Amino acid sequence: MLPPLRETLVTTERLVLAPPFRADFAEWADLRERSRTHLEPWEPVWPSDVHSKADWSRRLKAWHSSWRNGRAHVFLIRRQTDNRLIGGVSLTNVRGWPAQAANLGYWIGADHQGNGYMHEAVGTICTWAFQILDLWRIEAGTLPTNKRSQRVLAKVGFEREGYARDYLEIAGKREDHVLFALVRPTMQR
């Protein structure tokens, strides 16, 4: 059974991962806008009304619908010490048996890089996915030049599995990606 959206909190020593809600809009929009130069090279082209209330409403509707039907689980990442929003992590394209797999995505505000937050959030959400969603595999792709992201995945235990040509559209152009996967640890099988 899927965890209820409003009751889901995933915590670590320093972080709280929680689904996004209407009240998160202003802080989310501010962090993403301040981090625009940092984020845009790694993401699909942003819509013309990015960070507007209409954009946020569309995202929330899609995210909440996907959560309810078990297809995606989007989380915002906050520091425990001050409840400050620092980024996000998501499990999308969730597939049930026989695949029991999902795709991992993540982002962090420019001012919060280099503190180990993303390693902590990614590791924790993967454990949550194996235990709560009963996933077997979590897959991720990075641009070949995104060495920081590749280090995060390696620290969590992801292994490189391949190279996909023209895998995703990033910043308005089809881009190759290095593909990684994390398989459920033996003790959880």
Q: How many CB atoms lie within 10 A of CB 144?
A: 11
What pLDDT score was predicted for residue 47? Answer: 85
Report pLDDT digits (tens) over 84-139: 999 999 999 999 899 899 999 999 999 999 999 999 999 999 999 999 999 999 99
Domain region containing 150: 5-188
Task: Indicate whether this model's pTM tops 0.85.
Answer: yes
What pLDDT score was predicted for residue 1? Answer: 60
Q: Which CATH number is 163's domain given?
A: 3.40.630.30
What pLDDT score was predicted for residue 3? Answer: 67
Count of structural domains, the chain: 1
Decide: helix, strand or coil at residue 35: coil
Closest CA to 158 of 104, 108, 112: 104
Report pLDDT digits (tens) over 33-74: 999 999 988 988 888 888 899 999 999 999 999 999 999 999
Query: Token digits for 52?
Result: 């507007």
Contact of 12 with 120, CB cutoff 8 Å = yes
Contact of 163 with 178, CB cutoff 8 Å = yes
